Amino acid sequence: MSREHGYQPPPHRGPTEPWPDTEYDAALHLLDRQVVDVDGRHVAKVSDVELTEDPDGGLVPTGLLVGTPALLPRFGGRLGAWLMERYVQSGTSRADRDVPLVIDMDRVDDVTSEVHLDVERDGLLRRRADPADAPVRRRLGTLLAMRVVPADGDVLHVLDAHLTAPPDQPGRHRVVSLVVGHGRPGSLLGYDRRREQGPWLVATAVRHLHRHTRLVELGPEVAIDWEQGEVRVGAGAEVRPLLD
């Protein structure tokens, strides 16, 4: 739908204004949302989020991954691998059939109930072709499939990744902590850090639901082992309740 037919895109934030805020949670605010272009036309659905390792080992969101090759691995384990294998075998002989399409994160202009881009959709989607010396790229879905092994206590699971941007670098988000707890990703019912939790009764219910959910700050005491599929949390790690 074009502007002439009544669509009004969100105001452009400009290069110094962060989206959607100085902080957000990757799974809660991005996964499975519809993506629309600058004219309000549907582009795709966010199936995963690309996280790129920076030189100091931090994780920076660099792309929205879309399409079947991005979605199937999120089923996890042998099922996800089997589904991907069947998908690749059922198509043409393209060598990159298992490579998802990507939308660069810097094309995101705003996030509401949809992800709004600042460009038209034509020619937008592409497969990333990295050179041999490219930085290591990870997927949010892989991180969300990890178990969390604390120094003592029960084994938990990664429920989300919390990102913030430095005050002097708005829009330059990076993963600073992990939301961990019992259950699985998508179980944060009623929770949204970016807004008030509603009336007192609703807020009380949300806090009760998430009373055992914790925020683990990334640091020297927290090791993300991508090969073993686990996050090891040392005794000196900073851990606090999700909702204070």
Which of the listed residues 137, 159, 179 is the one where a domain comes to its end?
Answer: 137
Angle, vertex CA 222, rays to CA 79 and CA 207, nearest 5:
75
Tens of pLDDT, residue by residue over 107-143, are 999 888 899 999 999 999 998 888 888 999 999 999 9
Domain hosting 158: range is: 146-241
Q: Which residues pair with 232 in a beta bridge?
A: 149, 223
Would residue 215 count as lying in a domain? Answer: yes
Q: Are residues 126 and 176 in the same domain?
A: no
Please tell me whether residues 133 and 151 are part of one structural domain.
no
Number of domains in the chain: 2
pTM for the complete prediction? 0.79
Distances (CA, A) of 140 to 71, 89, 119, 207: 11, 25, 24, 25
pLDDT digits (tens, 9 = 90+) for 32-67: 999 999 999 999 999 999 999 998 889 999 999 999
Q: Chain-centre distance of CA 186, in angstroms?
A: 12
* Domain annotation covers residue 122: yes
Name the domain boundary from 75, 106, 137.
137
**Within 10 Å of residue 138's Cβ, how many Cβ atoms?**
16
From 110, 137, 164, give the residue that closes a domain: 137
Q: Nearest Cα to 48, choosing from 113, 164, 156, 138?
A: 138
Looking at the structure, do residues 96 and 199 belong to the same domain, yes or no? Answer: no
Yes or no: say if 135 and 52 are a contact pair by the CB < 8 Å rule: yes
Low-confidence stretches of the chain (pLDDT beneath 70): 1-21, 91-96, 170-171, 184-212, 244
Is residue 177 exposed (0-12), middle (13-18) or buried (19+ Cβ within 10 Å)?
buried
pLDDT at site 6: 41
131 and 93 assigned to the same domain: yes
33 and 125 co-located in one domain? yes
* Cβ-proximal residues to 52 (8 Å cutoff; 6+ apart), any chain: 59, 60, 61, 62, 135, 136, 137, 138
Q: Are residues 198 and 125 in the same domain?
A: no
Residue 130 maps to a domain: yes
Q: Please check whether residue 203 is in contact with residue 195, taking contact to mean a CB–CB distance below 8 angstroms.
A: no
Identify whether 104 is part of a domain. yes
pLDDT at position 157 is 93
Radius of gyration for the alpha carbons in the chain, expressed in angstroms and rounded: 19
Between CA 190 and CA 199, with CA 195 as vertex, the angle to 5 degrees is 65
Amino acid at 233: V
Query: Does 222 fall in a domain?
Result: yes
Residue with tokens 């606090």: 240
Same domain, 185 and 236: yes
Among candidate residues 225, 219, 182, the one with its CA nearest the CA of residue 239: 219
| 128 and 151 inside one domain | no
| pLDDT confidence of residue 81 | 76
The pLDDT value given to residue 91: 67
